Structures are given as structure tokens and as C-alpha cells.
Structure 1
Amino acid sequence: MSAEWTGVHDGLASTINSGSISKYTSTNALDDDNDTGSTHEDRINGIIYEAIAEEDNEEQGAHSMTEAPVFFNYHEFSETYYADIDNLDEMREHDEDHGIVITHFPNVYSPRYSDRYARTRIVRVPRRFEESLSYPCFSTVLPGSEPAAISSNLDKASFIPRGYYDGQFFGYSSVSPLSSHLSSEDFEEIVSHINLLSAKSYSVYTWYNFLDMFLGFLTLGIWTQFFSYACDASFLEVERYIEEVNNSMKFKQNDIRIISPKKSAYLSLDFELPKPHI
């Protein structure tokens, strides 16, 4: 059984078990007769304070490990090898403080050599898995405004082309070209409603599910065999709403549209928008 030692040194109260002290006595040589510059009590006090300091460090380390992660758009990435705006033909390395952030991507929903592919790009809105795992839930924060987004004092909250990479223009921050077409309020309203419809579609407590189970039981499974591909109409509400938004005046005027999340397997909510220029 390990005993505990409680002491007060310079107003500091501390409790250390004998196991902590014994760990240090083996390395600090309490019985070192050659050390005449300090007393036995001084050496004991030094060992105790060292043990206290290590326990404090361990507690701080455990606390930091339990801190919640900060959300960011995991689709984006940083690049330091690119061409400057004033010299598009010369690719060169830059320091990390002047790295560009790849925030928009090729339009994989259009044929490779089509006109739409050439003039449009895709901004990917990530899933928020910490919000719910029972239904697809997308981030309601306009890309570039996430808590852990890469920021730039030069760009602030606007998308400003700073570098040329892979035939496209990118800025110093996580702000995407989508911010030039939608406000944070409009974006949040649209995505929040999509999340609401998605939650409704994936709910197990719906009239269709109860009817499906009842008819399956009543027909001894025949209903399930012949109507296994039937789906609740609520699944189509997300598609109808996206179509409604795409046909709105704001989206038509800005030449942007939301891609059906079915095409991305609900892994992201993708916005198609015009390719940025300088």
C-alpha cells in the first residue's frame, strides 16, 4: 500500500504518493554523500517539486487531448508551388504564409470537353458528421467562415485571386468563389432547409414505414417482394427543393446551381459556379 505525503512549501500545498517519490529517488541519489552543497531536506524538497511539476504536465496533456476538434472544410488543401498573378508562365515555390488554398474543383458532373466543363467550377460543402450520423447533414457555414478555416489578413472575407495553379486562380484563404455569388445568410438558409428535408427523409417514424410494415405483414411478405423498390415521397422533397432553388432568380442571374447530392453519394453538397477570373 502506498503512503501519501502532504506538505506545504512557500504557501503551496501538495499531495504526492510514495510511488511518485520512489520514482525520483532512484535517479536523484538521495544518499549521495559527495553532494555536500545541499542538505538532505533540500534534496527531498527538490524531488517533491519535480514530481508535482510532472503531475501537472500530465494533467494538462490529458486536458488538451480531450478538447473538441475544430471544424474546417476537409475538401480544400493548400499549395505553395504556383505562378504569381503578374507572371502566369513561371511556376515557383512560395513560403507557407503565401500559399494558396484550393477551394474549387473541376466540374466532374459535366463531360470533360464540354462548354460547361470549361467555364464552370465546383465548390464542395462538407458533411457535418458530428451533427448527426443518422442522416446526411451538411455544413451551414459559407466556405471560408468555418472555425478552423485558413484566413488571410489581405483577403479578409472576399475571394481575391492571388495565384495561378492547374489553369485556375486561387486566393490565400479558405474563402471560395461562392462568396461572390451568395451571402452567408442566403447560404445558411438554403443548406439548413436541405438538412431539414434530409432529416425528414431518413426518419424511421413515418407513415410510409408503418404502412410498408403493415402491408408486408398482411400479405405475408408479398408486398415486400413486389414493391421493394418503392420509396417514401419525402426522399424526393430534397430534389424538388434543389430544383426550385436552381430556378430562382438569384441563381439564374448568378449562373450558379446546386448539384443533386445523389450524384455525390451525399458525401458533399456541391455548388456549380462560373470559373473565377482576374
Structure 2
Amino acid sequence: MHKPEISVIMATHNGEKYINKAIESVLSQDADFELIIIDDCSNDATPSIIKGYGDKRIRLLFNENNMGITKTYNRGIRECRGEFFTFVDHDDIIPSQSLGKRASVLKNNTNAVAVFGKSLRIDEEGRAYKVKGYPLSRKQGPIDKRVFESYMLFSPVSPWDHGSFMFRKAYVEELGYYDEELVVADWEFVLRCCRSDFDIEYLPEIVYHYRAHPNNFMRKYRRERHWVRDKRLAMAKHGLPSSLLYYRYFIESAKGICSRISYKR
């Protein structure tokens, strides 16, 4: 059985509106990959859309019960045959050469657990309106993980989108899979990577297109959960005081108040 270099994990639940664009963006990549699509009990046309491709690189799996996004991600990681893996949500897309470029970075640094890049924000129609990246680095290479961790803790905006990351599976297995008790499992796992002996590489190129819309897969999931509570739990897991989180929100609230005062003047 052929063992691909890269595994792409796509979790989906009722993704009929955009999943064809997500799948096609992966299938158009010039890289050695498999696409693992896990359907989390969809009740729309999603399964039939996927089956319609008939591409041998696609592996379609079904959850017997609705497991939620984190457990589905972990199932995908376990199913990976590739040395590296990444995620593409069913309403997002990846630009050409995204897989190959990130895999190349990981191959050139054997101590790297992950590489991440910039994300392009697109609207429901696919129109670009914003680029999201790590503002404290403009060049490719290993990031200063202490600075990155501080940025994660104190910035109100995450410096990355989940799908912009590509991971080395062997090192992820050493660190452990996503914490299925947390809605912020991806955030906590990146924090775990920061606190490991492995490198995290930054590629200052757009490697992911995140589609912002009212029913966005990740946004909808997080909106329904206790976001702040789970971040407190994630921080406690690493011995970080929850006061850091509240300090951050205090700063943002103060900035908002000051801006309104300045505007009135």
C-alpha cells in the first residue's frame, strides 16, 4: 500500500454548500498526499458529493455517532499514513502549492514539530478582504517560542488559523493528541508545542484561505461553547495563572473605552 508524504484531514458535518470547493483545492495540489474526509453524521447531501469524486486519494470515513470536531480531528490523526498532516475544514480552501511548501520546510528542519503560515480571509463568495499572519516575524525560520507563547496569551486575536499549520505526526504522537475535553484544543496543542523541545517554523506566505460566514464550521462550534472557561482550563493545564487571561481582556476593554473617549473629543 502506498504511503503518502502528507495526510490532509477534512472533518465535515452538513458541509454541502462549500465542500466541493474545499475538496477541489486539495486535489489540485502538486504533492504526494491522501485526503481523509470524516463525515460526522451529516444529514444533507455531503456524503453523496464526496462519493461523486471517485478519486483514489480520497478516503471517506463515517462516524457512527456525532463525535464533535475535536474527537473527529483526533480520529483523523490516527488514520494518517503520511509523515506530515494538516487540516482543511469543509468550508475553507488551500491555495496552490500550499501542501508542498509547508512539507518542504518540515523536511529541511527535522527538529520541527510544525510549520504555519499566513491565512487569507475570504467572504461567502470567495472574495478576499484580509490577510492574517504572525506580526512579530517577517522571515522564514524557527520562531522564538517564548515570544510566540506570550503573544498567544496576551493578544486578543490568534496569530494563526488552525488550517495554516502542518504537523509532523511522529512528534505529535510524542506530545499527545488534542485534548478532547477542550473546545480550544487546537490553541492548547500549539501552546504544548511551544513548551516542547521541538521547533515551530513560520512560513510568511499565504497557505490557507479561511471563509468567514455566519455558519462557519469552526466559528459555529466555538460560539456554542464556553470559550473563556476552556482557555482558563487550558492555561491551568500548563501551570499558567488564569489572571493572565483576565489581564488581557482588561487591557482590551480599556483600549476600547479610551478609543471611544478620544472619538467623542
TM-score with structure 1 setting the length = 0.21
Report 1 or 2 for greater relative contact order, CA contacts < 8 Å, sequence distance ≥ 6: 2
Structure possessing the higher radius of gyration over alpha carbons: 1
TM-score with structure 2 setting the length = 0.21
